Amino acid sequence: MTTAPTVRFLDRTTPPHIVTLILMAGISALNMSIFLPSLNQMTADFDTTYATMQLSVSAYLAATAVMQVFIGPLSDKIGRRKVMIGGLAIFVLATMGAYFATTVETFLIFRILQAAVASGMALSRAIVRDMVPQDQAASMIGYVTMGMALVPMIGPTIGGVLDQFFGWHATFLFLAAVGVAVMLLCILDQGETVRDGGMSFGDQIAGYPALFASPRFWGYALCMAFGSGAFFALLGGASFIAEGVFGMSPIMSGFAIGAPAVGYAAGNFISGRYAVRFGVNAMALTGMLLTSGGLGVSLVIALLGYQSPLLFFGFCLFLGFGNGLMLPNATAGLLSVRPHLAGTASGLGGALMIGGGAALSQFAGGLLTLETGTLPLQWIMFVTSLMAVLCILFVIWRGRVIET
């Protein structure tokens, strides 16, 4: 198949419309970032420490990583539609549980259950790969994630405004309402894209060795893990840096935390325009070279003693832009290593990416103090972006070896 199948909006006998795919992935991103400007206030309200409250980021990411392993095979077996709608239903119930929580332990339990919405991340990519071949998939994923990038760009801002005027509880009411709306949209629009009833779990397990034995799969997966790891590290420390180090208000913190998404949207747009022309590997390498270069300059400036919110968050635009180029293309490459295991590959790749992000998020949050300032986080972001460059270079080298 060389062209995308016919799609009719709000017709569940055809594949989902691109708007639905954007919102499926976008609500996962929204849930990850919208409450970040409220972390300091939530720490005070629950009478706990910032490190404990920061588990709402890292433990959520860890739960998301675990779920990604099961979402892919399950959706390959019973279909993308059922898994997506079920995940959204669990998410809405868990969000209301977080809203009514009176202790930090109860809140964290429901926060972890919210990870069910992560099905949108894995399945939106797998559905695209169900519909079109590799280079077209990279282009389409680029457009989907470009639209998705608008969500984390405005999400922390929305969360900051809601916190400033109504308190952090309002953020979770907003999330529940959005969850219900997206669930209704999926019920009405998301046609099934798994053909011939999917694969059995036995067939999935039988296919694992071929996937695990592929160096290209690991190259793409680790490139995604290290490249996005810099962003997840930022999630773990951004709230502390914005309010603790730079003394910013919740609203201004929301704007600052959303800054990388501006670059991410631009990178996704360019990926959507040029992925077919230049190929997935060249686009992914360009993205990570730009990311490591920008973060390297930011680190040098900080080491020279110049620190300000404009410099720190401004250079994070390179982080967003590079990931906007890399992620759609590395994802398309990963899903095409074994196309009949697209859902499984998406889930495993997502688990590596988000599991690594959970560790980096907690690690970054634990290192930051008023005395260290931004430097520990900048070192983490720079080193992980360099590792992503090495991973995609390995994929390119491996491809040349196979060809010769």
Beta strands in 15-156 (DSSP E): none
Q: Report whether pLDDT(198) > 60.
A: no
The verdict on residue 10 lying in a domain is: no
Two tokens at 403?
């060809």
pLDDT in tens, 128-158: 877 766 566 666 776 776 666 667 667 888 8
Distance between CA 224 and CA 355 in Å, rounded?
11
The verdict on residue 126 lying in a domain is: yes
The verdict on residue 7 lying in a domain is: no
The verdict on residue 59 lying in a domain is: yes
The verdict on residue 110 lying in a domain is: yes
Q: Tell me if residue 223 falls in helix, strand or coil.
A: helix
pLDDT in tens, 326-370: 988 888 888 777 776 766 676 677 778 877 877 887 787 777 777
Residue pair 168/160 in contact (Cβ under 8 Å)? The answer is no
Distance between CA 112 and CA 56 in Å, rounded?
8
- Supply the DSSP symbol for 241: I
Instruction: Let me know how long the chain is.
Output: 404
Q: Report whether pLDDT(188) > 60.
A: yes
The verdict on residue 72 lying in a domain is: yes
Two tokens at 343?
């859902």
How many domains does the chain divide into? 1
Distance between CA 349 and CA 301 in Å, rounded?
34
What is the CATH number for 108? 1.20.1250.20
Q: Report whether pLDDT(225) > 80.
A: yes
Q: Which domain holds residue 104?
A: 18-403
At residue 79, φ and ψ (nearest 5 deg) are: 110, 150
**Mean pLDDT along residues 183-197:** 85
Query: What is the pTM for the complete model shown?
Result: 0.75
Q: 385 or 338: whose pLDDT is higher?
A: 385
The verdict on residue 13 lying in a domain is: no
Q: Residue type at 66?
A: V
Compute CA 342 distance to the chain's CA centroid, rounded to the nearest angstrom.
18
